[in-house]
Structure 1
Amino acid sequence: MRAWPAPQPAPSGAPRYTRPALPASDYSDAAGQPIPYGNRWGADGPDPDSYSRVSHPERFAGLHTVANALIDYLEQAYAVSVWRESAVPDAPGGGFDPPLLHAQDDVVEVVRVVPESPDAASLSFAFTAFPGVFVEAGVLHTFPHPICGCDACDDTAEAQAVELEELVLAVVNGAYTEELGSGPGAEVSHSLVFFDENGAQTGSRSGSGGAPTTVSAERLAAASATLAALPHGWRAWPRRG
């Protein structure tokens, strides 16, 4: 198992990330009963009909606010370039070039944050009208927030905000790896490690699966070459001087 180096403490006076306040709202079902999102299903599990139902997707609107706060923090604290691309082809930056790994029908804006170090993984934030945020990290992985949004999943904006922040901060701390297997049907995998402000490890996440079918052979070959040059994984983002 890899021994992850603790992140370097931020210099005195450096910008720090603080989560913005999420909208506080109460939601009710068709009968007027309050919906306790995050704790609505008992031991019997979700209602079978809930897998095909999405009620009150507006409860995730705060994720746009959180993503924008993270982008602002990254731009202030790290040596990066930021590009904003509109979903409207004729608007400045419109067209999404290069395309997203996993194209979404309802993307309204993409914000790309690219660190100056080529050994550090870039981040792209795709804002959707759902509302939600898809984050592309590095060269092969997309992380949706929320991953589904149906009533059965019972996600909350607060829990999704935590996962979004953990992902972004793991990437900028250099605690993120991607791997791509070889041959037909090669698997892709990733790992993320989380640290608190004192540098203590607080958790981790990992996953694996087939390579995205929407990604061209050329893009996979380029990703393979990039990852081969990173035997110890992506490095930490350089801070602003």
Structure 2
Amino acid sequence: MSDYVRPEIDAPVFHDAEGRIIEYGNHWPGSPPEDTYSVDTHPERFAPLHSVADALITHLRDEYDVVVDEGVAVAGDLNRPSFSDVVRAVRLRPSDPRCATLTVVFDVYPGISVHSGLLHDARYPHCGCDACDEEWRSVATDLEQHMFAVASGNFREAIVPGAELPVRHAFTYPEGGRSSQSRVDEFPADRLSRASAVLGDLPDGWAPWPRAQGASVGGA
């Protein structure tokens, strides 16, 4: 077994109307023009995310004791259907029920959606419009941090009864982290009920995934 290495990718280069190379991630020196919001000129620039997600799935499958479920139907794990047609979906279920499950959904955009644990969905790229100016490498880093946080037990879910935003999620990374709070009406009622019961039995949060036999200690 070996440490994860992002696959080498021959990323395409895109040009603007004047033929200049578009430097995504550094496209706008100030505020983006108004007409760039809700416009997505080159969604194909995110195609490398599919290769990165595939490499992450392979790595986690090899390093951890998980059951792999694959098929488009697995995309039903998302709280809401993918806004783009699904081409592949893979669920990684750790052998220990105290660990959070990961479901990775590939779509034709091309983008990646990740369902973590019981109630958390995330989309990569986060937006993709010209104004947001996301660059695939930084998005891939976010995806990698997300999936490794879940596998290492650094993902937390909670439901706080009576709070205005009761559904809580938090990720801890080697450097920093992120958290979110949501209303209950953003989730199917049956999922909230199940999550409340399961999370109530996990006072210390989701556990780190168990390693596969013979896996390297520093695999993630």
Normalization by structure 2: what TM-score?
A: 0.91
How many Å apart are 1:183 and its aligned residue? 4.9
Distance 2:52 2:42 in 1: 19
How many Å apart are 1:39 and its aligned residue? 0.3
Partner of 2:138: 159
Superposition map of 1:110-189 within 5 A: 110-183=89-162, 186-189=165-168
Distance 1:224 1:206 in 2: 19
The answer to whether the 8 Å contact 2:74/2:90 transfers is: no
Distance 1:235 1:81 in 2: 16
Distance 1:171 1:227 in 2: 15
Distance 1:146 1:57 in 2: 10
Distance 1:150 1:186 in 2: 28
Partner of 2:199: 227
Distance 2:188 2:78 in 1: 12
Partner of 2:69: 83
Distance 1:37 1:28 in 2: 10
In the TM superposition, what whole-angstrom CA distance separates every residue of 1:200-237 from its partner, at most 9, and x where no partner exists? xx221111122353x32122100111111111111000
Are 2:51 and 1:72 equivalent residues in the alignment?
Answer: no
Could you list the structure 1 runs, at least 4 aligned residues long, displaced by more than 3 angstroms after superposition.
95-99, 183-186
Give the secondary-structure state (helix, strand or coil) at the position aligned to 2:191.
helix
Are 2:86 and 1:100 equivalent residues in the alignment?
Answer: no
How many Å apart are 1:35 and its aligned residue? 1.1
In the TM superposition, what whole-angstrom CA distance separates every residue of 1:120-164 from its partner, at most 9, and x where no partner exists? 100000101000100011001001000110001100110011000
Identify, as 1 or 2, the structure richer in helix: 2
Distance 2:142 2:168 in 1: 18
Distance 1:223 1:15 in 2: 34
Give the secondary-structure state (helix, strand or coil) at the position aligned to 1:142.
strand
Equivalent position amino acid for 1:71 in 2:
I
Q: 2:180 aligns with which of 203, 207, 214?
A: 207
Cα gap change, 1:98 to 1:59, in 2 (>3 Å)? closer
Unaligned runs of 5+ in 2: 214-220
Give the secondary-structure state (helix, strand or coil) at the position aligned to 1:52.
coil
How many Å apart are 1:21 and its aligned residue? 1.4
RMSD: 1.7
Distance 2:110 2:86 in 1: 9
Distance 2:75 2:90 in 1: 12
Distance 2:53 2:201 in 1: 30
Cα gap change, 1:187 to 1:55, in 2 (>3 Å)? same
Distance 1:237 1:181 in 2: 25
Instruction: Tell me how many residue pairs correspond in the alignment.
Output: 212
Are 2:39 and 1:31 equivalent residues in the alignment?
Answer: no
Partner of 1:198: none
Give the secondary-structure state (helix, strand or coil) at the position aligned to 2:51.
helix
